[in-house]
């Protein structure tokens, strides 16, 4: 999720995956490090390093999901990983609403597929066993090794972050899907309606995070709410 593609720097990392150009901005590593250090108690260098690698792989897989579907619709995409996550850009993609909806959904579902693949391996290895989480009976991982950290981080990033990314908040993928659905309903006012929904949901999430004393999430969604309120003002002035 990015608002704008960042300008290139001399510290950028460049490579290709499946023929798709990928650029990693240095801020990506800094934010991943910040997230790895936050809320974990005394920082274990090994666990932080695992977190950074898992975030890198997971967000790359997410953006590849977008990019592969963009290619399917005839585009020539490129991927940028930056501080706020990632961006699969494409100047020549199919801009029809249903195409854009499928492109937006491809990212989170690529992450869900990766998480499902990991869980399938655990089942095959018989490494899942019952564990009670509050009142929810779940199947849980038990390796007693470094693999626990890797698997936990993979599932958190690809499932939890994927679900959050489906919230109807722009510019998250769910917000982009909501915008296209509103545009199908009304091509003139659809963007404004989607921004109003986006701002309202972002405020609710930020308020809930504050109640839970999660300052980082509150700031993140507060920032998204502010950006959407600014966009609402712009569109109201534009259509006045």
**29-84 tens-digit pLDDT:** 998 988 888 755 556 888 899 999 999 999 999 999 999 999 999 899 999 999 87
**Domain of 202, in residue numbers:** 168-240
**How many structural domains comprise the chain?**
2
Q: What is the mean pLDDT of residues 111-139?
A: 73
From 133, 166, 199, the end of a domain falls on 166
User: Among residues 166, 181, 216, which one ends one of the domains?
Assistant: 166
- The per-residue pLDDT for 135 is 46
- Least Cα distance to 103 among 48, 155, 139, 63 occurs for 63
| 131 and 179 belong to one structural domain | no
- Pair 128, 143 in one domain: yes
Stronger pLDDT, 135 or 70, i.e. the higher one:
70
Percentage of residues of the chain with pLDDT beyond 90: 57
When the pLDDT of each residue in the chain is averaged and rounded to a whole number, the result is 86
Helix (H, G, I), strand (E, B) or coil at 16: strand
Q: Looking at 132, 166, 200, which one is the last position of a domain?
A: 166
Q: Write down the pTM of the prediction.
A: 0.87
Q: How far apart, in Å, are the Cα atoms of 88 and each of 21, 173, 183? A: 10, 11, 22
> For residues 168 and 161, is the Cβ–Cβ distance under 8 A?
no
């Amino acid at each position: 999720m990015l608002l704008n593609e960042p300008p290139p720097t001399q510290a950028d990392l460049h490579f290709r995956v499946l023929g798709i150009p990928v650029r990693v901005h240095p801020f990506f590593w800094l934010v991943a490090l910040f997230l790895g250090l936050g809320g974990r108690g005394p920082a274990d260098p090994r666990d932080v390093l695992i977190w950074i690698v898992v975030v890198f792989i997971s967000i790359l897989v997410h953006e590849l999901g977008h990019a592969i579907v963009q290619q399917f619709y005839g585009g020539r995409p490129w991927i940028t990983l930056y501080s706020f996550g990632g961006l699969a850009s494409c100047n020549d993609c199919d801009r029809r609403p249903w195409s854009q909806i499928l492109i937006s959904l491809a990212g989170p579902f690529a992450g869900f597929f990766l998480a499902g693949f990991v869980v399938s391996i655990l089942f095959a290895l018989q490494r899942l066993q019952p564990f009670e989480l509050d009142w929810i009976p779940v199947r849980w991982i038990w390796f007693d090794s470094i693999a626990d950290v890797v698997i936990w981080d993979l599932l958190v990033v690809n499932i939890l972050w994927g679900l959050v990314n489906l919230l109807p908040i722009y510019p998250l993928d769910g917000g982009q899907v909501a915008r296209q659905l509103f545009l199908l309903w009304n091509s003139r006012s659809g963007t404004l309606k989607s921004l109003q929904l986006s701002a309202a949901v972002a405020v609710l999430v930020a308020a809930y995070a504050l109640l839970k004393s999660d300052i980082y999430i509150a700031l993140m969604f507060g920032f998204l709410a502010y950006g959407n309120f600014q966009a609402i003002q712009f569109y109201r002035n534009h259509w006045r």
